[in-house]
Structure 1
Amino acid sequence: MKSIKNVDFLLFDLGNVIINIDYQFTINELKNLLPENKNHLIELFFPSNFHKQYEMGLISSQNFRDEIRMHFQSDWSDVQIDQIWNSLLKDIPLERIDLIKKLRADFGLAVLSNTNEIHIKKVNEIMVENFGIPSLDPLFDQVYFSHELQLAKPNVEIYEVVADKLKTDPSKILFFDDLEQNLLGAQTVGYQTHLINHPKALTGFFEDVL
């Protein structure tokens, strides 16, 4: 098999691996909503402390929304904040779902994603609307989210914890992610890795396998 040797589990990131995401779309949405004198706050948002804390499950969704109001605009409603925050989540191509279903016949499958409660609720809605599946759980053997593990990529500990939970040697995990830094963290623990750098990269990788 092409590049797949001694692999017990295929481990997938979510963003731009399973579901397409578009940060620039959300940035543009924020620019349209905010007065020009607040546009500088947008670039401070994604690396902000409260964003990182939310991604690691260290603050609640309501705390996160309150922080967004303090950061951007005090009169934004919960619904408006969720809509803005989820606007970066786009489509899940059917070919990726079909691929996952086929791969399950030969491999253990798992997800490892830096994400949060609000996004996962939206991902589940997309799954139901497009595929009649309530969540990612029926497609994978295990699903691991940073906000539930209270750890985040590329911290080495998260890869150690996931390998332990999968009950397999890290060297027998093949990990797909769209960020090089996340792959480097996984390689430190011993994972096999593959960079997903364009929309057809995942399905293309498995063309000679299935």
Structure 2
Amino acid sequence: MIKAVFFDLYETLITEWDGNKKKAVYSTDELGLDPKVFKNEWDSRRELRMNGTFPDYASVLRDILNSHGMSIDPDLIEKVHQKRVWAKKIPFQDVKPEVLELLQTLKERGMKVGLISNCAPEEVSSWSRSKLEEYFDAVVFSYEVKVAKPSPEIYHIGCKKLGVKPEEAIFIGDGGSNELVGAAEAGLKAYHATWFLPVDFSNKIQGFPKLRSPLDLLNRVELAHY
């Protein structure tokens, strides 16, 4: 019997996208790097950003600039940092009603609810002020625990926080970072959240039950009642 439900954050509980466009866009052009070069440098540091090796966004920017022998202006770094914080705040302001209804129903049924998110500090700086926070019994941010999805370890950390065995828990996510495979390898039942995903992208991930809407979970999973 399932006693706990873990959720991914971005593109599962909240989304950065409005159709084909991001809700909030910011530029790093003032740093003086070609946007394509910056993106390549940014992407190459993803694992180190997610596992907390880089303690914050500013440290990533400094490292990128250092790698190109560029001067570092602390005020400029902070300006770009605040723009990113702003951009990451926007998705938290528009939580899908069905998501809140699902979380409320799970709590009413006595389920334990957890979050497992690959993230850096600035990406979740608005978490504690969001409508979501009150529903969660445990939150696992990758940068805090120094391990990221899809490592089974991060799922086991979540289970330990909630006091459940992996086989007593499910994980729901959009599938990024190979998180569904990681959850399954850790012993959890993994479900594919597709409500924020384009159909063609959703179909790229196979082998996991698909949830077409948040409330679809209630019809698909036998949950414990207390």
TM-score, scaled relative to structure 1: 0.76
Answer yes or no: is the 8 Å Cα contact 2:114–2:158 preserved in 1: no
Where does residue 8 of structure 1 map in the other structure?
Answer: 3
**1:111 & 1:104 partners in 2: Cα distance?**
14
CA pair 20-84 structure 1, distance change in 2 beyond 3 A: same
**Deviation for aligned residue 1:18:** 0.9
**Deviation for aligned residue 1:83:** 1.4
Where does residue 171 of structure 1 map in the other structure?
Answer: 167
Confirm whether residue 161 of structure 1 aligns to residue 157 of structure 2: yes
Where does residue 79 of structure 1 map in the other structure?
Answer: 79
Where does residue 18 of structure 1 map in the other structure?
Answer: 13
CA pair 56-37 structure 1, distance change in 2 beyond 3 A: closer
Answer yes or no: is the 8 Å Cα contact 2:171–2:189 preserved in 1: yes
Answer yes or no: is the 8 Å Cα contact 2:102–2:215 preserved in 1: no
1:155-175 Cα deviation digits (max 9, x unpaired): 122122222332222111110
- 2:181 aligned residue (178, 184, 209): 184
**2:126 & 2:41 partners in 1: Cα distance?**
20
TM-score, scaled relative to structure 2: 0.71
Which residues of structure 2 form unaligned runs of 5+? 197-210
Where does residue 115 of structure 2 map in the other structure?
Answer: 111
**Deviation for aligned residue 1:191:** 0.6
**1:183 & 1:101 partners in 2: Cα distance?**
24
- SS where residue 11 of structure 1 aligns? strand
**Sequence identity (%):** 18
CA pair 147-24 structure 1, distance change in 2 beyond 3 A: farther
**Deviation for aligned residue 1:36:** 10
1:11-61 Cα deviation digits (max 9, x unpaired): 000011111124963996448x46997132244144322x42232122222
Which residues of structure 1 form unaligned runs of 5+? 1-5
Where does residue 96 of structure 1 map in the other structure?
Answer: 99
Give the superposed CA RMSD: 3.3
More helix by share: 1
**Number of aligned residue pairs:** 195
